[in-house]
Structure 1
Amino acid sequence: MKPRLQVTIDCADPARLVRFWAEALGYRPEPPPSGYDSWRAYWLGMGVPEDELGDLDGPDSVVDPDGVGPRLWFQQVPEGKVVKNRLHFDLGVSGGRSVPLETRRRQVDAEVDRLLAAGATRVRELAEPGLDHYAVLMRDPNTRDYQFCAA
């Protein structure tokens, strides 16, 4: 059997990240498993203690509606982040190297604007004169250092 990929992200506010990443990736919040009215009911049914669920009220994961991309699960944890992320997402929105740099820049900037409106924070641009590359480092709504890059 072929393994199925899930990316698990520890966070303080799963609901906020579900809304953001569903918008950013064109994913949808994952409905609770069959037989459960909510994810809270599912987790309680699995034996997760009530105090570990915090204020979890809605979905804590997003899925690709086409079933191609990985499931993203936002696991609520009590401790805050203390070190730099060792994982980040690169969102490929420029069209690739066959597209002229200025066109790629406009496409990246349009996506950055869309994600800013969804709650992201711009960190900095990655662009140097003479380099055929343009990207923007950003933070999702729950992170202090950069979490993803639009390129």
Structure 2
Amino acid sequence: MVSYQLVIDCANPERMARFWADALRYKLEPPPDGFDTWRAYWRSIGVPEDELGEGDGNDSIVDPEGRGPRIWFQQVPEGKVVKNRFHLDVLVGGKRDETPLETRRARVDAEVERLVKAGASVVRVHSQPGADHYAVAMLDPEGNEFDVV
């Protein structure tokens, strides 16, 4: 079996972890047993202070049901300058063969509204007359693209 995590470069790992935990219905990953914070854990294994970033180090999220991958938000000095080559789709609408388009549209719109309140912004709506597809392209708080479908 292959195990993996997603790593997302960013300027503010704690902010991004909180946003994406909310967006994906994940939870902040608790620090290892015996440590009050991730920062304390990283110090204990010798990570240099200048690599620890800001805050308590709450920079990873996990699926509370254990099905999805761990996601770690890694602080980097450079900002995002080009379009993502990889993005997430937040799937909330339902399956095409089981859920009518209007129901999928209402679910997507409700999720978009929730994510805007959490710090995301809308880029564009993907909807064409006669097409059985509806999605909204969005940006997370640091400008990374994702879709709500």
What range is the shorter-chain TM-score in?
A: over 0.9
2:134 is aligned with 1:138: no
Q: Structure 1 residue 113: deviation in Å?
A: 0.6
For residues 47 and 83 of structure 1, the distance between their equivalents in structure 2, rounded to whole angstroms, comes to 34
Residue pair 2:90, 2:148 contacting (<8 A) in 1 also: yes
How do residues 103-122 of structure 1 correspond to structure 2 at under 5 angstroms? 103-122=103-122
Match of 2:39 in 1: 40
Gaps of 5+ in 2: none
Which residue identity does 1:100 align to in structure 2?
A: P
Partners of 2:31 and 2:88 in 1: CA distance = 25
TM superposition shift of 1:57: 1.9
CA contact (8 A) 1:63 1:70 kept: yes
* 1:94 to 2:89 alignment: no
Counterpart CA distance in 1 for 2:94 and 2:86 is: 23
Using the alignment, how far apart are the partners of 2:7 and 2:142 within structure 1?
14
Asked whether the equivalents of residues 14 and 56 of structure 1 are also in contact (C-alpha less than 8 Å), the reply is no
Which residue identity lines up with residue 32 of structure 2 in the other structure?
P
Deviation at 1:122, TM superposition (A): 0.7
Q: For residue 149 of structure 1, what is the aligned residue in structure 2? A: 147
**How big is the shift at 1:136?**
0.1
Query: What is the deviation of 1:7?
Result: 0.3
Size of the aligned set, in residue pairs, is: 148
RMSD: 1.2
| Percent of aligned positions that are identical | 62
Q: Distance in 2 between matches of 1:84 and 1:47?
A: 35
Show structure 1 runs of 4+ deviating over 4 A: none
C-alpha distance in 1 between matches for 2:90 and 2:142: 18
**Matched AA of 1:74:** F
5+ unaligned residues in a row in structure 1: which ranges? none
